[in-house]
């Protein structure tokens, strides 16, 4: 009987942005079902999750897909528990209140492919800058599109793993790309984003290319930052047929701007400037078709008689989708 490789993946305790960690467990046999996987443990003192004196943290498998790039193998997303079995403070997934999977999320993950040698995006010369933004978005051709072999390999890997990727595109800055993942159920959406991030990081290794998840890696220059727009809906938004309900849900976000920004990713003040298709971090606004608003009501919602979803444009590329979803659900649930 061939042995099976299980890559247990978890989020560490790094501040302000949690990083991916993983290690391989070899087992004799595996059904392919996550409920048949055992908990495991790791040294939390090496991941900012425990003191050295009592270092054990627990990995609880919660989502599992075939590993598309390794023989006889699976990728296993895990929640981190403290030694007593309670969710670890770094465990955002455990804070999601969506047990009936009524919340659907579509995340648009933007990121830069990054040359570790030059410490610049792919497509940037070692000294200076490429031509200004304009031609790169959805581009084709070696003059404007950089790293396509990587993002194509990533797309295939995601699809082979069974992740529900809905699309990819080259973004506005040189070396910047996006993928979209949609799932019915907030936890599933977060799980799929994290597995997709893991695959991108790992594929990048074989090209000597890193992924830069920072929301404004080029600083205060005329280069776009990276977001992770959160498109969301629940039964209420999907079925109400009433503009007033869309307004009410949007208004529920107004008094809790700070609580949302707190989990929308590090350094978001550098990105949410009011320029580059963003709203100011200090304001709250929403509007039909408005890409300069905090929350956009997609035109299709109006066209379908006020049924559909909303797009919170504020979460950034480095945000934890679990925490973003948990906070959005909390706010939307205040509307009955």
Number of residues lying near ligand ADP (CB under 6 A): 15
Q: How many residues bind Mn ion (CB under 5 A)?
A: 3
Give 31's contacts (C-beta < 8 A, 6+ positions apart): none
Binding to ligand ADP by CB under 6 A, coded x per residue (else -) over 25-64, reads ----------------------------------------
Contact call for residues 68 and 190 (beta carbons, < 8 A): no
Q: Among residues 157 and 328, whose Cβ is nearest to ligand ADP?
A: 328
Closer residue to Mn ion in complex, CB, 49/176: 176
Tokens of 8: 């247990």
Site for ligand ADP in 299-328 (CB under 6 A): 308-309, 311
- Map residues 156-195 to x or -, x wherever contact with Mn ion holds by CB under 5 A: ----------------------x-----------------
Pair of tokens at residue 256: 């809790």
- CB nearer ligand ADP, residue 229 or residue 260: 229
Nearest to 297 by CA among 283, 281, 279, 309: 309
| Smallest separation (angstroms) from Mn ion to the CB of 231 | 7
Q: Is the omega angle on the peptide bond into residue 16 within 30 degrees of 0, that is, cis?
A: yes
Q: How far is the CB of 25 from Mn ion (least distance, A)?
A: 36
Helix (H, G, I), strand (E, B) or coil at 81: strand
Number of neighbouring beta carbons within 10 Å of residue 206: 10
CA distance linking residue 55 with residue 43, whole number of Å: 5
- By CB under 6 A, is residue 232 in contact with ligand ADP? yes
**β-pairing verdict for 295-297 and 286-288:** parallel
Q: Is 179 in the site for ligand ADP (CB under 6 A)?
A: no
CA pseudo-torsion sign 147, 150, 154, 156: positive
| Other residues' Cβ atoms within 10 Å of the Cβ of residue 302 | 15
- Binding site partner of 333, from ligand ADP, Mn ion, none, Cβ cut-off 5-8 A by kind: none
CB of 164 to ligand ADP, least distance (A): 8
Residue 233 in contact with ligand ADP, rule: CB under 6 A: yes
Kindly state the smallest distance separating residue 108's Cβ from ligand ADP, in Å.
Answer: 4
* 166 binds ligand ADP, rule: CB under 6 A: yes
How far is residue 171's CA from residue 111's CA, in Å, rounded to a whole number?
9
Please name the residue that has the structure tokens 């799980």: 191
| List 108, 201, 312, 320, residue binding Mn ion (CB under 5 A) | 108
What is the nearest approach in angstroms of ligand ADP to the Cβ of residue 308? 6
In terms of Cβ atoms closer than 10 Å to its own Cβ (0-12, 13-18, 19+), residue 40 is middle
Q: What's the CA gap between 316 and 275, in Å, rounded?
A: 15
- Contacts to Mn ion by CB under 5 A: 108, 178, 229
Binding region for ligand ADP (CB under 6 A): 104-106, 108, 166, 180, 182, 229, 231-233, 238, 308-309, 311
């Amino acid at each position: 009987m061939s042995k099976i490789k299980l890559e247990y993946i978890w989020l560490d305790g790094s501040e302000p942005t949690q990083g991916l960690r993983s290690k391989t467990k070899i087992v004799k046999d595996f059904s392919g079902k996550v409920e048949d996987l055992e908990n495991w443990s790791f040294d939390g003192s090496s991941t900012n999750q425990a003191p050295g004196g009592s270092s054990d943290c627990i990995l609880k498998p919660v989502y599992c897909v075939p590993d598309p790039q390794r023989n006889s193998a699976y990728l296993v997303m895990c929640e981190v528990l403290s030694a007593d079995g309670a969710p670890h403070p770094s465990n955002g997934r455990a804070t999601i209140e969506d047990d009936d999977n009524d919340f659907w999320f579509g995340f648009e993950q933007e990121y830069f492919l990054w040359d570790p040698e030059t410490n610049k995006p792919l497509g940037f010369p070692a000294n200076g800058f490429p031509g200004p933004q304009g031609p790169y978005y959805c581009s084709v051709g070696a003059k404007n599109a950089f790293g396509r072999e990587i993002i194509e390999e990533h797309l295939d890997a995601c699809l082979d793993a069974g992740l529900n990727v809905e699309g990819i595109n080259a973004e506005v800055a040189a070396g910047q790309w996006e993928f979209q993942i949609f799932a019915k159920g907030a936890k599933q959406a977060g799980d799929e984003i994290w597995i997709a991030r893991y695959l991108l990081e790992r594929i990048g290794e074989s090209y000597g290319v890193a992924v830069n998840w920072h929301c404004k890696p080029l600083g205060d220059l005329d280069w776009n930052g990276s977001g992770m727009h959160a498109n969301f809906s629940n039964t209420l938004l999907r079925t109400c047929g009433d503009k007033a309900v869309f307004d009410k849900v949007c208004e529920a976000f107004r008094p809790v701007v700070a609580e949302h920004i707190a989990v929308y990713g590090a350094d978001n003040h550098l990105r949410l400037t009011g320029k580059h298709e963003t709203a100011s971090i200090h304001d709250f606004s929403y509007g039909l078709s408005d890409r300069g608003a905090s929350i956009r009501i997609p035109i299709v919602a109006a066209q379908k008689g006020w049924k559909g979803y909303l797009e919170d444009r504020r979460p950034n590329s480095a945000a934890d989708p679990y925490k973003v979803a948990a906070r959005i659900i909390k706010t939307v649930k205040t509307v009955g």
